[in-house]
Structure 1
Amino acid sequence: MDRMIKRLTKNKWTLPLILVVVLYLKSLFLLVTLYEASPRIFLMSLLSFAPISVIVSFSFLFEGRKKLIYLFLVNAFYSITFYADMTYFDGLNRLFSLYVLYLKNISPEFAASTGEYFMNLNFLVFTDLPFALYFVVKSKGIVKRETEAVKRNREATLKKISLFGTAFAMSFIVMLTQFFTVSKTAGIENYENHALMLSPVGNHMINMAAYVRDSVKRLSEEEVSEVDAWFNRNSTHFSIDQQYEDLKGILAGKNLIVVHFESLESFVLDYEFEGQEITPSINKLMENSISFPNVYEQIQEGVSSDSELMFNTGLYPAQKGSAFMSYGENTYFALPKLLQRSGYHTMAVHGDKDTFWNRDIVYPNIGIDDYIHEDLFEDKRYSGLGILDESLFKQSVKEIERTSKPYYSYVMTVTSHTPFTIEEEHRYLGVPGEDNDAGYLESIHYTDYHLGKFYEELEEKGELDNTAIIVFGDHEGIHKYHESALPENNKKVPFFIHIPGMEGMEVDTIGGQVDMLPTILYLLGAEEETYSDKVMGSNLLREGVGSVILSTGEVIGVPHDMDHLTEAPYISNLILTGDYFAVSDTDIDLDDIIEVVHSGERKKDTYLD
């Protein structure tokens, strides 16, 4: 062993080349795990050599055991990172990133939704580390450290720098050539392809550079002008379909209750188990609602918090990480802030920690007066990821009763979130088995049942006389996190606005979650020109078939302006990373909108029974 260690460390190239091969094999293993074993995956994996060589080239700056230690730490770092990639990709279809490390306030219960991914073959990436560590420890006393004379030897130092410079330059040039070539390739806009097209190591290098850039981001004058120009074009996309013109102002002056329904997919609305509806309460509410059956999820890494961002601010999510975490203190135009300024009391009710997704910081910033979190609940019974939704809805009724009117209440469920391990006593459907499909149906049905009880209690207390209830699904649940035999959902999420006494109507326009806010603003009676330079979505009551850009870059429908739509996520990312509303000339003084919303004038009694 001693002789082998001496021989391996004597040659300056041997150990670096070994590490290049080891990291390449781990990258290949990662790619096969994320995608599939195929000739194409193998060929694409060759893109890993250049970025790996860039990282390994720094080892030439070290001698003796310092080089061994550096190479071991690089191997350990990327082994841990690749393992995190495989685990993270299972849940979010993307690689782990530094932006996720920023999510310091994520609730501990979040681990429950990803814990099932940890016990698998992914641990194979660590198999060589004990041997490498033994090699490093064993080398002590065998591989002599540099002497002070060598350290002071200018010629030796120049040789090290020259060797490093040559290795770094060659691999870096090849890597940049690859990146520029791939950046023009179809599919690069889909983040799910980044591990394959950029290579795992290359993707993380780009991610780290982007993280550093965004942490010190300041919008240039050119970028501010670019955002301004996008909003100017956006103002032409609000032409309302004539058949919906009379809906304008139908929500003016009403109390608004928003039910953010965790993991609610569209297919469950029409699905039955042995003749039992999965969502009978929702289906009944929709009989007196404006419903939008063609709305798609557009979340990024912020998952549920991204849905909140889109619903309340009309902005697309951050392209990396979570806007709630990274940009929670930005200046925002937001629905609760608008309603707050127009005399509404605003509150949010959620059965989780107040720091979950940084909501304790974000909510006051977007205009939420009171945040009722788990510490303030009277009934703290838990299931899965947080407090039971039965408790959530009972607490919400109490908060609504004691608040002043008009009010805006944002109620966010949690029991229907993965891991779908709802207790037997709460399984009302009787779906047999303990698999994810059964757990999902039971969890959704449970939350739906207590949504119905919530509605009945509000009705009994006379709270619905001048109230509208908005319900939307934040993202897919069973199809997002698990393999499933349930019907395909194709990323659709329910969205409907229930007004007691209203004759139901269905609006088939294709759209996304970013379109919810401009639709609600129209129904509140706000004039389009007062918010068209503040929100990025488009009114779902607009003319035409409609369109949506998914988080993968895929476009569905018929865009009014394809370039405008495909630029939207990039523009929104500029707004978030550069705090656009704080530095631009855009007036987010809400007085022009407030006058209409606060008036309570409604001309739409023809829609009521």
Structure 2
Amino acid sequence: MKITDIKNSKLFDFAADIRNSRPFNLVISLLFDNADIILFFIIIFWKLLSYEKNISSSFVPMSVRLAIAASILILISFSLILKKKSRISFLYTVDIILSLILIADLMYYRYFKDITTVAAIKNAKLLKGVSASVTSVASVKDLWYLVDILILVPLKRKYKKAEFGIVPMRRRLVSFIVILAVGVGINAKTFYRVSKEQPTLLTAMSNRIYLTTMIGNVNFHIVDSYNYISTSLKNSKKLSTDEENKVKTFLQNNNNTTGETNFKGQAEGKNLIVIQVEALQGFVINQKINGQEITPNLNRWVNKCMYFDNYYYQVAGGNTSDAELMSNNSLYPAQSGAAYYTYSGNKYDSIASELKDKNYYTAALHGNTEGFWNRNVMYKAQDFDDFFGEHSFDASEQIGLGISDKSFLNQSLEKMKTFKQPYYSFLVTLTSHYPYDAVDKYGSFDVGQYKGTLLGNYLQAIHYTDAQLGEFLDKMEKEGMMKNSIVALYGDHFAIPKDNESQLFSFENESKNDDYTWFKYQKVPLLIHFPEDKYAGVNHKYTCQMDLYPTLANLYNLPKNYMFGKDMLNGDSGKVVFRNGSFIDGKNLYVSWTNTYYDLATGNKISETDALKKEKEDYTKELEYCDELQNHNLIKTFDQQKAN
């Protein structure tokens, strides 16, 4: 067949008919009428995908791409309500705003290795001194996020001048509802998936980078804003004078120092070194596997310290940050989410603030990124003079989430030698962090049958951390730093989550797997070392993280105004109250989720008595008082009342 024959064939006639047909014209018209939406979707999707690749070294999975697309559809849906020219302006403005947010987030990420939040912006005054460092990490590459905005200026003007048909409001509303429903539906599936994989992540937002890489930047800021606004609205109702007085009266009664004479003031003038150890659970102390001690160094130091073997962790949605909050402030964790985010603008009466009043230098040290768990904000709120995070150390030796414990503790020791005395050093370790999957770095500790399991990986991880803690404590002792210092060392929270309890019970040869047995292992070790190993021995009292600050306050002769815990060295209340309403009173255990009581001595279930019912009501009210104190920033209010 000749070319001329092809040109004259019915094939071309058919193509021409398509081009000239009404459906073809409708498609072209539809594409032209919605060119602004199509272009907006493509540009914003590219920007958000580019951002994801900047904060994550891994491939962006389809589930995250869908979440990004869903967030863009939600933005587009609101533009569909508007008339054509207003819609164009709306989308262009949103493009500018999102581009600036992405640039700001990238700059913040490069410095803090974290994502900006409403709380961080609101508390920007607490970040003074780092703004110059943040701007120094701006990159010329960031300008790519603004190029389209400049290019689109003339196109936007011409497009606005084009003739468009008038779309009735009813049709615009239908378009809005349909597109919004699609975007919300995809997001609902995404959020459900995240809530299943990480139950507290959407509310506590403990790892903002991880959350952003799962749901996308726009969705992250939507979730962050929702959490912030919902909390603010909940707390906007002013407490009555009567309600404030109830909180004040409880605190006055709880902090009454009458009769607390044991050890009072014995640590005055001495340095205070507090070490919070990641996932150090009590069951590994003085325990062996295959004939090898799991924590040989801590076992040795247990014999040189005052050791509390019934010391319970009480963390909630804030996990590690909750342990820090309780240990430094004797305040309960937030009812939901993490207090380190929710209450970052509050006033605190912390160990650091009270010791500063006694001319102590105060410093917090941690091998993770400064913004993780909002520490860069919260340490300033708690009045620490300095926070040494990842950027303050040589971060070349990394294991898991950050600097290895070996490197972190060695460098921290060198920093502490330069601190002006007396000082308070608060150190938080990191390497033994869940899910303990970097076991190749931990050496060849043989865990036998548990090799490759979560429990086995944990035992290897905590064995590694134990070696670093032993070296750190031994160096301090050898160099004479212990002679004028009190050292407190404790675990922050559980190591083995409840859905892996069978491994733990098997390791401990437990035949039962009820709630009583579970609570038996929800303890973390607390060691308090005095100069010359004074007062070494085991204390079997039922105590908890809320009790650390009151105990240190007694030792350092600090005022006790806003503490919900009790001094462990005076009295024997045995009170341990958990955020979910469960409690221990020294003789009994109450499990809130089954409304069941157990006898602590036997593990047998017991019936509720009037006394136990009143305890339950009293402890519930105590949690409410702490919530009201935090929700309404009452420490600030009470301090102002005292001043007046």
Residue 497 of structure 2 is aligned to residue 497 of structure 1: no
**Which residue pairs with 2:189 in the alignment?**
79
Distance (whole Å) between structure 2 residues aligned to residue 406 and residue 516 of structure 1: 20
Q: Distance in 1 between matches of 2:432 and 2:211?
A: 13
**How does 1:310-459 map onto structure 2 within 5 Å?**
310-432=326-448, 433-459=451-477
Distance in 2 of aligned mates of 1:471 and 1:544: 21
1:525 equivalent to 2:579? Answer: no
Q: Do residues 550 (structure 1) and 559 (structure 2) align?
A: no
- Structure 2: state its 5+ residue gaps: 1-169, 216-225, 509-517, 588-610
Provide the residue aligned with 1:198 in structure 2: none
CA displacement at 1:416 relative to structure 2: 0.6
Q: Could you tell me which of 257, 282, 285 is aligned with 1:269?
A: 285
Match of 1:466 in 2: 484
Q: 1:349 to 1:387 in 2, by over 3 A?
A: same
Greater mean deviation of Cα atoms: 468-477 or 270-279 = 270-279
Q: Which residue of 1 aligns with 2:94?
A: none
The 1:328–1:65 alpha-carbon spacing in structure 2 relative to 1, beyond 3 Å, is closer
Aligned equivalents of 1:545, 1:111: Cα separation in 2:
44
CA contact under 8 A between 1:265 and 1:473: conserved in structure 2? yes
Q: C-alpha distance in 2, partners of 1:282/1:415?
A: 16
- Aligned residue pair count: 423
1:583 is matched with 637
Q: Is 1:226 aligned to 2:246, yes or no?
A: yes
Pair 1:557–1:355, CA change in 2 (3 A):
same
CA separation of 1:460 and 1:512: change in aligned 2, threshold 3 A? closer
Residue 196 of structure 1 corresponds to which residue in structure 2?
A: none
Q: Deviations over 1:71-105 (max 9, x none)?
A: 4444334322322221223xx5xxx64x435x6xx
Contact 2:228 2:342 in 1 (8 A): no
Tell me: CA distance 1:222–1:503, structure 2 relative to 1, closer, same or farther (3 Å): closer
2:210 pairs with 1:100: no
Q: TM-score, normalised by structure 2?
A: 0.60
Q: Distance in 2 between matches of 1:276 and 1:394?
A: 26
1:297 is matched with which residue?
313
The 8 Å contact of residues 107 and 353 in structure 1, kept in 2 or not, is answered as: no
Report the Cα distance in structure 1 between the residues aligned to 2:271 and 2:434, rounded to whole angstroms.
Answer: 31
Give the 3-state SS of the residue equivalent to 2:198 in structure 1: helix
Aligned-partner residue type, residue 188 of structure 2: Y
Query: Are the aligned partners of 1:428 and 1:446 in contact in 2 as well (CA < 8 Å)?
Result: no
Compute the RMSD of aligned alpha carbons: 3.1
Which has more radius of gyration? Answer: 2
Equivalents in 2 of 1:481, 1:519: separation in Å? 34
Q: What code does the residue aligned with 1:452 have?
A: G
Deviation string 1:92-140 (CA, Å, 9 cap, x unpaired) is 5xxx64x435x6xx4647999xx9xx9xxxxxxxxxxxxxxxxxxxxxx
In the TM superposition, residue 351 of structure 1 has moved relative to its aligned partner by: 0.4
- Inter-CA distance 88–109: structure 2 relative to 1 (3 Å threshold): closer
Closer, same or farther in 2 for the Cα pair 1:537/1:278, shift >3 Å?
same
Q: Note the 1:568-607 alignment, pairs <5 A.
A: 568-585=622-639
The verdict on how the C-alpha distance between 1:238 and 1:278 changes in structure 2, with shifts beyond 3 A counting, is: farther
- CA 1:564–1:234 in 2, change beyond 3 Å: closer, same or farther? farther
Q: 1:312, 1:209 → 2: CA distance?
A: 27
Do the aligned partners of 1:509 and 1:541 also contact (CA within 8 Å) in 2?
no
SS of alignment partner, residue 371 of structure 1: strand
Q: Distance in 2 between matches of 1:549 and 1:557?
A: 8
User: Structure 1 residues 259-268 or 504-513, which shifts more?
Assistant: 504-513
Partner Cα distance (1:69, 1:110) in 2:
25
291-300 vs 484-493, which deviates more? 484-493
Measured in 2, the distance between the counterparts of 1:329 and 1:466 equals: 35
TM superposition shift of 1:219: 3.8
Verify the 8 A CA contact 1:288 1:500 in the aligned structure 2.
Answer: no
The one-letter code sitting in structure 2 at the alignment partner of 1:75 is: G
Three-state SS of the structure 2 residue aligned to 1:270 is: coil
In structure 2, what residue type is equivalent to 1:76?
A: I
How far apart, CA to CA, are the structure 2 residues paired with 1:481 and 1:360? 32
Question: 1:31-46 counterparts in 2 under 5 A?
Answer: none
User: How far 1:269 sits from its partner (Å)?
Assistant: 0.5
Alignment-derived partner of residue 278 in structure 1:
294
Shift of the 208–282 alpha-carbon distance from structure 1 to 2, 3 Å rule, reads: same
C-alpha deviation, 1:221, in angstroms: 2.7
Q: Which has the higher contact order (CA 8 A, sep 6+)?
A: 1
Alpha-carbon spacing, 1:426–1:238, altered in 2? closer, same or farther (3 Å): farther
Q: Which amino acid aligns with 1:535?
A: M
Q: CA deviation at 1:515?
A: 1.2
1:14 corresponds to which residue? none
Q: Is the 8 A contact 2:247 2:629 kept in 1?
A: yes
Work out the CA distance in 2 between the residues paired with 1:483 and 1:61: 56
Aligned match for 1:255, one of 250, 263, 271: 271
TM-score under structure 1 length normalisation? 0.64
Query: CA separation of 1:299/1:74 partners in 2, compared to 1, >3 Å: closer, same or farther?
Result: same
Q: Does the aligned pair in 2 maintain the 1:333–1:588 contact within 8 Å?
A: no
Counterpart code for 2:231: Y
The one-letter code sitting in structure 1 at the alignment partner of 2:318 is G
- Partner Cα distance (2:641, 2:542) in 1: 30
Aligned partners of 2:176 and 2:547: how far apart in 1? 56
Deviation of 1:476 after TM superposition, in Å, equals 0.3
More divergent stretch after superposition (402-411 vs 474-483): 474-483
Q: Is the 8 Å Cα contact of residues 316 and 333 (structure 2) preserved in structure 1?
A: yes
2:471 counterpart letter in structure 1: K
Change (3 A) 1:110 1:238: farther
Q: 1:579 to 1:61 in 2, by over 3 A?
A: farther
Q: Confirm whether residue 211 of structure 1 aligns to residue 211 of structure 2.
A: no
Deviation track 1:32-57 (CA, whole Å, cap 9, x = no partner) reads xxxxxxxxxxxxxxxxxxxxxxxxxx
